[in-house]
Structure 1
Amino acid sequence: MRREAPQKIGDYGPLFFPATMLVVFFVVPFATMIAVSFFQRQQGGFYVPAFELSNYQRFLSLFFANVLGFSLMLAVTVAICCVLLAVPFTYLLTRMSRKVQVVWLVALLSVLSLSEVIIGFAWSTLFSRTAGITNLLVMAGIMSEAKALLPSFGAVLTGMVYQAFPYTVLVLYPALVRLDPTLTEAARTLGASPIKAFFTVVVPALRNTITATLIMVFIFALGCYLLPQLLGRPQHWTLSVLITDQAIYQSNMPFAAAMAVFLVLVTLGLVALTILAGRKGEAA
């Protein structure tokens, strides 16, 4: 069917509601945040309208540059770990019976129902010295005594990967379900091993989907707030943690807004890359 161009103003009616929601819930708050980022902070936590660049200049200091670098590195690491684990897991899942797939998908959805608070405290218990997994290693004779595995970077990474893994699987699942199984069967017929067929047929066929998933998980991990505090040290805190600290505890709303503006711009840029990768996938 051929889509006709709108002929009158009334034809744009269906776009009015979503456009209004976009303006009210995104454009106005984001514009307000940008304006506040240029305000001048005064003693007592107050701030007045002004056009100050000091908030952005402070953000470019060595300390906050290190925090930004760590946040980006942590988000990239979480995204790579999730995709490396989720791609083979989801591929094997799609080759199972329908009942088994439903059970696993329900289990993944149940993980999504857990809040970040529950996940953080659950992993803090598992990594603790008194009730943690090291007690099992002591019972097995692998370790001489139990010890705490947190706070540490490994604990933060584990918790964030656990939280983002179900999202990764659910994004990859539709693409792998639609993948023609005869492709891998043809590779096996030509002498390829199952592992070689997976890396030479399945992975290249999902290249654009994997790229979009990496970006999605990166955005998700970049906004992680509670797990770095519960499982890590202050040097493991992300930019989201510092934004909250500056806004609530330091009463420095203009500086917090400046950091938030940068974080939103990075997120929007990555969303644009995701859309671009999706369009290339459709064109292919």
Structure 2
Amino acid sequence: MKREPPQSIADYGPLFFPAGMLLLFFVIPFGTMIAVSFFQRQEGGFYTPAFVFSNYERFLSPFFGGVLGFSLMLAVTVAICCVVLALPFTYLLSKFTRRLQVFWLVALLSVLSLSEVIIGFAWSTLLSRTAGLSNLLVKIGVLDQAVALFPSFGAVLTGMVYQALPYTILVLYPAIVRLDPTLMEAARTLGSSPIRAFFNVLVPALRNTIMATLIMVFIFALGSYLLPQILGRPQHWTLSVLITDQAIYQSNMPFAAAMAVFLVLVTLGLVALTLLIGRKGEKA
């Protein structure tokens, strides 16, 4: 069937509502944030309209470079850990009976219902010295005495991987279920071991999906705010935490807006890269 072009403005009616929502909740706030990022900060926490680049020049400072580098490193580590854990689990999940698959998917969706605050304080309890996992390690003889496992980088990484892992599994699940099962069977028939067939057949077949999932989890982890604060020290704070600190506690709204603009642009660039990978996958 040939699609007819719009004949009048009324034919564009279905687009008015989503366009209005996009304008109201993204374009206008983002434009305001860009404008504020060029404002001049005054003494006492006030700022005046101006067009200065001093807020963006602070990006070159060693402090900001350290925070940005740590945020990117943490997001990359979380993305890699999630995919490494989720890929074999999702593949094994696809081999379960339909009833077991539904059970595990419902369990994953229940984890997604937990807020970041609940996850953060739950892991802070599990990693504490008084009621945490270290007490279990003492009982089985691994440790001599109970110790606090947070605040630390490992605690931040554990909490963020726990939070992002269900998203990773749910994204990989449809692609693995649609995969032709005869590919693995053919590899096994030709003499490959299950592990070798997994890496030589399954992983290359899901290359585009894996890349898109890595980018998605990276974006998710890059915007993490509460978990680094609850489970980490100030040196473990991400760029999102620094933005809040500058906006609320330091009363430096122009610099906070400049960092937020930078974070949004990085996120939009990664989203565009994900869409590009998806289109290449469809053509392939």
Flag whether TM exceeds 0.5 (same fold): yes
Q: CA deviation at 1:255?
A: 0.6
Tell me what 1:196 maps to: 196
Residue 244 of structure 2 is matched in structure 1 by: 244
CA shift, 1:78, in A, is: 0.2
Residues 2-52 of structure 1, C-alpha deviation per residue, up to 9 Å, x if partnerless?
323323322222211111111111111000000000011112222111011
5+ residue gaps, structure 1, are: none
Compute the displacement of 1:162 (Å): 0.3
Instruction: Indicate whether 1:273 and 2:253 are aligned.
Output: no
- Deviation beyond 3 Å, 4+ runs, structure 1: none
Q: How does 1:1-284 map to 2 (within 5 A)?
A: 1-284=1-284
Identity %: 82
SS in 1 for 2:151: coil
CA distance in 2, matches of 1:126, 1:33: 39
1:87-137: CA deviations, max 9, x gaps? 111010011001111111111111111011110011111111111101111
CA distance in 2, matches of 1:192, 1:2: 49
Separation in 1, partners of 2:60, 2:6: 47
- How many Å apart are 1:61 and its aligned residue? 0.7
TM-score by length of 2: 0.98
Aligned residues: 284
TM-score, with structure 1 as normaliser: 0.98
Amino acid at match of 1:48: T
One-letter amino acid of the counterpart of residue 204, structure 1: P
1:53-89, Cα deviation, whole Å (9 max, x unpaired): 1111112211011100100000000000000000111
Instruction: Encode CA deviations 1:172-229: one digit per residue, 9 max, x unaligned.
Output: 1111111111111111111111111111111111110000000000000000001111
Instruction: Provide the rounded CA distance (Å) in 1 between the counterparts of 2:259 and 2:30.
Output: 12
Separation in structure 1 between the aligned mates of residue 117 and residue 245 of structure 2, nearest angstrom: 18
Alignment partners' CA distance in 1, 2:196 and 2:8:
57
Structure 2 gaps, min length 5: none
CA distance in 2 between partners of 1:180 and 1:53 (Å) = 54
Per-residue Cα deviation, 1:221-265 (whole angstroms, up to 9, x for no partner): 000001111111110000000000011111111110000000000
What secondary structure sits across from 1:146 in the alignment? coil
Q: Give the RMSD, CA atoms, in angstroms.
A: 0.9
